[in-house]
Structure 1
Amino acid sequence: MSGNRGVSYEGPGKVEVRVTDYPDYELKDGPGVNPANVGRKLPHAAILKSVATNICGSDQHMVRGRTTAPTGLILGHEITGEVVDTGPDVEYVKNGDLVSVPFNISCGRCRNCKERKTGICENVNPDRPGSAYGYVDMGGWVGGQAEYVLVPYADWNLLKFPDKDQAMEKMLDLAMLSDIFPTGFHGCVSAGVGPGSTVYIAGAGPVGLAAASSAFLLGAAVVIVGDLNKDRLEQARSFGCETVNVAEGEPKDQIEQILGEPEVDCAVDAVGFEARGHGKEAEKEQPATVLNTVMDVTRAGGALGIPGLYVTGDPGAADEAAKQGSLSIQIGLGWAKSLSFVTGQCPVMRYNRQLMQAILHDRVQIAKAVNATPISLDDAPRGYHEFDEGAARKYVIDPHGMLASR
């Protein structure tokens, strides 16, 4: 086997599908590969045939030119696939297994992995703890928006689906296990969502919608989703959410109209660093807006889940401080209200097996909630464009036509 094609970042606003290397059991030099990782031997890895590989809002940050991502980077960290080959050190994963790949790359050996903090593995990124496929400053592991992809530490990382036929029938749902479903769920767990909770979720993109679905799964009584995209708000309402349009004013005022009080028990930031203002400021980028809002609308003693992406470097930011990841956060407000904060990558392996069971046993319809939409690999550039324009969809790339054939 020698052929492969993948979705390549070609500069701000541009991606294209191009021929790329077939995976090998050694990390080779290439766009974004950390020099300290070049030549790294990977006998513990497996090669997957990609069955489903999704476009993520985090990918869009790079494609918009908001990071230092190099051209030629093969994108994609949301991967579901079939094992087609394994390295000599792989014991338990077998050819033919249908598996979900956590977007966090983790070794299973370091202190953080042993503590189930797989989003900050110490051994896969020479620059800092934490890594992901096809992402800037994450060590240079090749992305999975491709026909074939390599997964290191396969016995540790891969989640095997117990029944292949059942899994293929539910593949659009199971494809969400690599990132957005656990990420949204983690945001809600971090915020303390439980039976009877009232919850505000900032952002009606796929992660926000996944968080809303997760809130219901956790027993929330009222889930309120805020955004300025009317189509995405309509998608949130389609499975029982209340909504606020932040372009029409402050969420606090609209929350009071829904609940009879201006505060919720818990809140989730599913927006991140490209946040915009509210009301008349809705078209203006104000990266601290959502963080300050979730502090404002959460009751004293409550908690905030912050799975929305924040970066240490944003070359496209509106001011010099934000370019360094420094935002005007009202930390005094959060301190005065004794709020708890949880930030960072979701440790996918903490949740993915349980969420897989919820999908397989029909306890949740996550694909329907996020409006999962299959497209071919060749249609990936169109998917990126439409998603960037605000489409109320989660695009799932189908490199081999395995979803279309179902």
Structure 2
Amino acid sequence: MGGNKIVVYKEPGRVEIEDHDPPKLEVPADVSKSKGLTQKAVHGVILRNVATNICGSDQHMVRGRTTAPPGQTLGHEITGEIVEKGEDVQFLDVGDIVSVPFNIACGRCRNCREGQTGVCLNVNPARAGSAYGYVDMGGWEGGQAEYVMVPFADFNCLKFPDRAQALEKIRDLAMLSDIFPTGYHGAYTAGVTTGSTVYIAGAGPVGLAAAHSAQLLGAAVVIVGDRNKQRLEQARSFGCETVDISLDASLEDQVAEILGVNEVDCAVDAVGFEASGHGADAGEQPAAVLNSIMSVTRAGGRLGIPGLYVTGDPGAPDPDAKEGTLKVRLGLGWAKSHSFTTGQCPVLKYNRGLMMSILHGKAQIAKAVNATVIPLDEAPRGYQEFDQGAARKYVLDPHGMIPAA
């Protein structure tokens, strides 16, 4: 196998490619010690990564907006080929190409058994829930790499039924590890159904995935809001209406111009804690999107909140926000009888169905998010361009296995 090139956070605004030892079939020592697991991962597999993506959640760390330490390995969106498996892996084989949920889940705890794989109880000493290459998520090595170890593989890995078909559609299938299920989760938990009018806050990759998901779920009108004109243009490219929150016209007034009424049936927050206020000169306001989706959603409506909120933000604009305490108008949500769904998407709940939608031509998620393939060595450029607002979803190709478009 040789070494293992991997993307590493060095300091705010800078990532580098480092050579690490190849992964072993072992769980992190802290997880093993605190959870009573054997360190040897007989239940795991090692993947040669076919595709591994840059995510907005990674970008929060790289901007210095989390407590991630220098040296944190990065990457939790993983699609790969099995090159080694532990002796307890029963239903997967070397050569299989699989999608890996960004949630690391044991498949055995109460939460996993109840389908809440985003908050597994056995894979993180610090809290419920874990992920590859992420701060405070258990110390699992990141997946923006040539190779990665996946534990509890029979439970976590989604095998693609046909290798040739998988490689042909790999740009779409690479989105199954996170943003497509996450966007779908936002739309689904917001109650999007046939004929719904939907507002999606944020036209980054997750927002675009939520918008495409809302279309799959039967929405009559999908409205996407952002202040990045290129990203709004990308949303319009697959049939969404758009509003520009950098304009002085209120969100409600812009929605009314589209729908004839100033509210929607349901809404999705695909922005998270680095939210901006409304208007040309508005600065960062961490609760702005949460408050705006309550304002624009009808009484009795539902709100899906897949956007990331954190408990530690060194760059927050005020002391409360630094610990995740935000000025949310909960009274408004209460008065309108809104339902809220927050937290990590439980990817395993959705990924097989979304895979089938891709394989049978019903979903074109790579087109919706403008998937753009670059070599692993160009990850620093991808991070820089993404941070500057590029209307793209960067897909890293560590081994040159992604066919030319």
Structure 1 length normalisation: TM-score? 0.97
* Counterpart in the other structure of 1:122: 121
Once the two structures are TM-superposed, the CA of residue 33 in structure 1 deviates from its matched residue by 8.0
Q: Which amino acid aligns with 2:275?
A: A
**Cα contact 2:28–2:140 (8 A) shared by 1:** no
* Counterpart in the other structure of 1:274: 274
Within 2, Cα distance between the matches of 1:25 and 1:350? 26
**Cα contact 2:31–2:123 (8 A) shared by 1:** no
Within 1, Cα distance between the matches of 2:31 and 2:115? 26
* Counterpart in the other structure of 1:105: 104
Structure 2 counterpart SS, 1:84: strand
Once the two structures are TM-superposed, the CA of residue 27 in structure 1 deviates from its matched residue by 3.3
Within 2, Cα distance between the matches of 1:28 and 1:151? 12
Identity of aligned residues (%): 69
Once the two structures are TM-superposed, the CA of residue 180 in structure 1 deviates from its matched residue by 0.3
**Cα contact 2:199–2:223 (8 A) shared by 1:** yes
Once the two structures are TM-superposed, the CA of residue 315 in structure 1 deviates from its matched residue by 0.8
Residues 28-39 of structure 1 aligned to structure 2 (within 5 Å): 28=28, 36=34
* Counterpart in the other structure of 2:287: 288
**Cα contact 2:75–2:133 (8 A) shared by 1:** yes
* Counterpart in the other structure of 2:376: 377
Structure 2 counterpart SS, 1:208: helix
Structure 1 counterpart SS, 2:348: helix
**Cα contact 1:125–1:138 (8 A) shared by 2:** yes
Within 1, Cα distance between the matches of 2:180 and 2:329? 29
* Counterpart in the other structure of 2:182: 183
- Cα displacement string for residues 117-138 of structure 1 (whole angstroms, at most 9, x for unaligned residues): 0000000011111000000000
* Counterpart in the other structure of 1:3: 3
* Counterpart in the other structure of 2:349: 350
* Counterpart in the other structure of 2:309: 310
Within 1, Cα distance between the matches of 2:187 and 2:328? 21
**Would the alpha carbon gap of residues 216 and 405 (structure 1) be closer, same or farther in structure 2, given more than 3 Å must change?**
closer
**Cα contact 2:121–2:129 (8 A) shared by 1:** yes
- Cα displacement string for residues 121-172 of structure 1 (whole angstroms, at most 9, x for unaligned residues): 0000111110000000000111100000000000000000000100100000
**Would the alpha carbon gap of residues 254 and 35 (structure 1) be closer, same or farther in structure 2, given more than 3 Å must change?**
farther
* Counterpart in the other structure of 1:204: 203
- Cα displacement string for residues 53-106 of structure 1 (whole angstroms, at most 9, x for unaligned residues): 000000000000011111112100000000000011111111000000000000
* Counterpart in the other structure of 2:158: 159
* Counterpart in the other structure of 2:21: 21
**Would the alpha carbon gap of residues 36 and 345 (structure 1) be closer, same or farther in structure 2, given more than 3 Å must change?**
same
Within 2, Cα distance between the matches of 1:201 and 1:35? 42
- Cα displacement string for residues 209-261 of structure 1 (whole angstroms, at most 9, x for unaligned residues): 00000000000000000000000000000000000000003211100111011
Structure 2 length normalisation: TM-score? 0.97
Q: Which amino acid aligns with 2:234?
A: Q
Within 2, Cα distance between the matches of 1:41 and 1:70? 26
Within 2, Cα distance between the matches of 1:26 and 1:157? 16
**Cα contact 1:34–1:139 (8 A) shared by 2:** no
Q: Which amino acid aligns with 1:260?
A: G
Residues 223-234 of structure 1 aligned to structure 2 (within 5 Å): 223-234=222-233
Structure 1 counterpart SS, 2:186: helix
Once the two structures are TM-superposed, the CA of residue 35 in structure 1 deviates from its matched residue by 7.3
* Counterpart in the other structure of 1:260: 260
Q: Which amino acid aligns with 1:198?
A: T
Once the two structures are TM-superposed, the CA of residue 41 in structure 1 deviates from its matched residue by 2.6
Q: Does 1:42 align with 2:44?
A: no
Q: Does 1:394 align with 2:388?
A: no
Once the two structures are TM-superposed, the CA of residue 405 in structure 1 deviates from its matched residue by 5.5
- Cα displacement string for residues 252-287 of structure 1 (whole angstroms, at most 9, x for unaligned residues): 1100111011100000000000000011443x1000
Q: Which amino acid aligns with 1:164?
A: R
Structure 1 counterpart SS, 2:84: strand
Q: Which amino acid aligns with 2:176?
A: L
User: Runs ≥4 in structure 1, deviation > 3 angstroms?
Assistant: 32-39
* Counterpart in the other structure of 1:90: 89
**Cα contact 1:195–1:219 (8 A) shared by 2:** yes
Q: Which amino acid aligns with 1:3?
A: G
Q: Which amino acid aligns with 2:191?
A: G
Q: Which amino acid aligns with 2:371?
A: A
Count the aligned residue pairs. 403
Q: Which amino acid aligns with 2:339?
A: S
**Cα contact 1:271–1:309 (8 A) shared by 2:** yes
Structure 1 counterpart SS, 2:69: coil
* Counterpart in the other structure of 2:339: 340
* Counterpart in the other structure of 1:132: 131
Within 2, Cα distance between the matches of 1:273 and 1:98? 35
**Would the alpha carbon gap of residues 35 and 66 (structure 1) be closer, same or farther in structure 2, given more than 3 Å must change?**
farther
Q: Which amino acid aligns with 2:266?
A: C
**Would the alpha carbon gap of residues 366 and 277 (structure 1) be closer, same or farther in structure 2, given more than 3 Å must change?**
same
Within 2, Cα distance between the matches of 1:212 and 1:174? 17
